[in-house]
Amino acid sequence: MSNYKKELKELKTKLEDLEEKINRETVKTRIVGQRLEWEETCSKKLNWEEAKEWCKMKGNGWRLPTVLELLTAYYYKVDGFSSVNYWSSTEYSEAYARFVDFSDGDVNFSNKTDSYTVRCVRNY
């Protein structure tokens, strides 16, 4: 490979790395910059309605997190999460809601009567 092509390839790699860093920082500023406080994980798995109610009963602004908030927690490796499915507040349809799989960051939906792990969040 010529010196020119090698330098061009290195420059392209550096630009891609910089673009990825800028994108991460933008997400971090928009989402993590909201200053979210995460509650401890519920000791038992709950269905979606129970999960919403459990968070609401804590008072003081506690709520079930959105998919985006869970993905941000996954991406930035927020402490206290395990490699399991966490309910989000994001509905898919009348009978289904979204969850995030913390083993791989995958987002999917499930029947609201299914039971998954719950971790409440609030803004502060």
pLDDT tens digit string along 33-70?
A: 568 899 999 999 999 999 999 999 999 999 999 999 99
- Determine the residue type at 58: K
Give pTM, 2 decimals: 0.73
For the chain, give every domain's residue range. Answer: 1-30, 38-123
Candidates 52, 36, 55, 114; CA nearest to 89 is 52
Superfamily per CATH, domain 38-123: Mannose-Binding Protein A, subunit A (3.10.100.10)
For the record, the structure tokens of 71 come out as 């993905």
Give the tens place of pLDDT for each residue, 62-105. Answer: 999 999 999 989 988 988 999 999 999 999 999 999 999 999 99
Q: What is the pLDDT, as a whole number, of residue 26?
A: 45
Candidates 45, 28, 52, 36; CA nearest to 121 is 36
